[in-house]
Amino acid sequence: MLTKLREFHYLEPSTLSEALSLLDRYDGKAKILAGGTDLIIQMKQKKLTPEYVINLKKISELDYIEYNGQWLRIGPLVTHSMVANSPIIQKNFPMLVDACLAIGVPQTRNRGTLAGNLCNASPSADTPPALIALDAKLKMESSDGERVMDVEDFFSGPFGTVLKNREMLTEIKIPSLSEWSGGAYLWVPKITAVDETLVGVGVLITLNPDKRCKEARIGLGSVGPAPIRAYKTEEFLKGKRIEPDLFVEAGEIAVSEASPRSREDYRREMIKVFVKRALGQALRKIEGAI
């Protein structure tokens, strides 16, 4: 059978420090299993043939969604369904719910994790553009210590991250949204069995009381080798009065920041459409909340 898994050692550490020391010991020969919806497929395709598989599910300290009013913290065992069903996230970070619901199908959402979606680093992943817009930070730990970085710096290329063999993504942190902010995640899928995302756009804007843009954050997915933060578009919006007239130009600038490799024309058009539409939705959300 082509899809038969090669043999491997199966390890079930019960603490994070145990898991990190296993990663250390089997440097480069081990893969981490959380949801498995990407890992098991790649192992079946023999793209990955780890000697050791380290299952995290016995580590209860990695399974949490916590919000203290300043930071939302999500552990690496949290699935897309858990994010989508979390009342805290629905209330405070609805864009993240939309991004998680954009992922495949119930079977995948029930099993796959947010952290795994980041680590798999598919260029078409749905959560990175939303997390870029939400200014998410990623905590990575190894036996030597920890480091924290912005989510947009985590990706190195298609299916590549800056994570070292001995490191694990151990937390996703999102700051609370300031007053007068609103956002949206919009996407369009390819029509295939797995409905992979063709273009995904995450937008978050914060306004001053005079309706001028205090901050803008825009993430683009599936339009380049890795998720893109649209810095130029953000700069363009900053300080300006946010009105629908601006949205078309913002969309055009965002297109210049993308580098789609296939279905180029369509993808470029859809970036324009989604940046414009997401800015409109974000503005309406802010106006609705005032």
Partner 1 sequence: MAKGGFWVEHLINLKINGEPYKVSLKPNTTLLDFLRDEIGLTGTKKGCDTGQCGACTVLLDGKPINSCLVLAADANGKEILTVEGLGRNGKLHPLQEAFIQEGAVQCGYCTSGMLLSAKALLDEDPDPGEEEVKKAIAGNLCRCTGYVRIVKAVLVAARKMGG
| Order of strands across the sheet that contains 197-207 | 181-189, 197-207, 213-221, 228-229
Least distance from partner 1 to the Cβ atom of residue 6, Å:
7
Subset of 179-208 contacting partner 1 (CB under 8 A): 193-194
- Secondary structure class of 186 (helix, strand, coil): strand
Q: Among residues 18, 21, 29, 44, which is the contact residue for partner 1, using CB under 8 A?
A: 44
Stretch touching partner 1 by CB under 8 A, among 3-11, 91-99, 142-150, 224-232: 3-11
List Cα–Cα distances, 188 to 126, 192, 219, in angstroms.
10, 12, 15
**Six-digit token string for 162:** 């800056």
Query: Does 3 participate in binding partner 1 (rule CB under 8 A)?
Result: yes
Distance separating alpha carbons of residues 174 and 183, to the nearest angstrom = 14
Least distance from partner 1 to the Cβ atom of residue 216, Å:
32
Residues 74-100: b if buried by 16+ CB within 10 A, e if exposed: bbbbbbbbbbbebeebeeebebbbbbb
Query: Does 45 participate in binding partner 1 (rule CB under 8 A)?
Result: yes
Distance separating alpha carbons of residues 165 and 142, to the nearest angstrom = 9
Stretch touching partner 1 by CB under 8 A, among 36-44, 133-141, 211-219, 275-283: 36-44
Least distance from partner 1 to the Cβ atom of residue 254, Å:
29
CB 44 within 8 A of CB 5: yes
- Secondary structure class of 222 (helix, strand, coil): coil
- Secondary structure class of 178 (helix, strand, coil): coil
Query: Does 60 participate in binding partner 1 (rule CB under 8 A)?
Result: no
Which amino acid, 108? Answer: T
Stretch touching partner 1 by CB under 8 A, among 37-45, 153-161, 253-261, 279-287: 37-45
Stretch touching partner 1 by CB under 8 A, among 16-24, 41-49, 146-154, 270-278: 41-49
Least distance from partner 1 to the Cβ atom of residue 51, Å:
9
Query: Does 222 participate in binding partner 1 (rule CB under 8 A)?
Result: no
Subset of 62-121 contacting partner 1 (CB under 8 A): 81, 104-108, 110-111
CB 123 within 8 A of CB 192: no
Closer CB to partner 1, 188 or 242, in the complex? 188
Q: Among residues 20, 53, 65, 125, which is the contact residue for partner 1, using CB under 8 A?
A: 53
Query: Does 6 participate in binding partner 1 (rule CB under 8 A)?
Result: yes
Residue 123: which residues within 8 A CB-CB, separation 6 or more? 158, 159, 221, 222, 224, 225, 226, 227
Binding site for partner 1 (CB under 8 A): 1, 3-10, 33, 36-37, 40-41, 44-45, 53, 55, 57, 81, 104-108, 110-111, 193-194
